[in-house]
Amino acid sequence: MSGTSTPSAATTAIPFPRLRPWLVLAVPVLLLVAYLVLMDNGTVSQTGALLHELMHDGRHLLGVPCH
């Protein structure tokens, strides 16, 4: 990373209207993935304890309440 303070284009803010569709579309999908990995015990996935069992060690070691 260059320590100089030359105003590169990287400092230009992205306008919020350009950002909004990504936030609206992508964030719910990503949060759903995180929920399925970290917390689902069959309520959403409808696979019973399968996700719980498969993600079991990851849930424990990522620090999420598992069982």
Partner 1 sequence: MVRTLLVRGLLTGLLAGLIAGGFAFVVGEPHVDSAIALEEAAAAKAGTGAGTGTGESAGHDQAAGHDHTAGSGEAGGHSHGDEATVSRPVQKAGLFLATGLYGLAVGGVFALVFAGLRGRVGPRSDGRLAVAAAGAAFTAVVLVPFLKYPANPPAVGDPETINGRTLLYVVIVLVGLAATAIAVATARRVTSPDPWVRGVAATGAFLVPVIAAWVLLPAVNEVPDGFPAALLWEFRIASLGTQLVFWAAFGVLFGWAGDRAAARHPLTTPGSPASAPLPSSSGSSS
Task: Enumerate binding residues for partner 1 (CB under 8 A).
Answer: 1-2, 5, 7-16, 18-19, 22-23, 26-27, 30-31, 33-34, 37-39, 41, 48-50, 53-67
Q: How far is the CB of 7 from partner 1 (least distance, A)?
A: 8
The DSSP line for 10-51 is GGSPPPHHHHHHHHHHHHHHHHHHHHHHHT-SSTTT-STTHH
Q: How far is the CB of 45 from partner 1 (least distance, A)?
A: 13
**Cβ contact 42:52 at 8 Å:** yes
Q: How far is the CB of 31 from partner 1 (least distance, A)?
A: 7
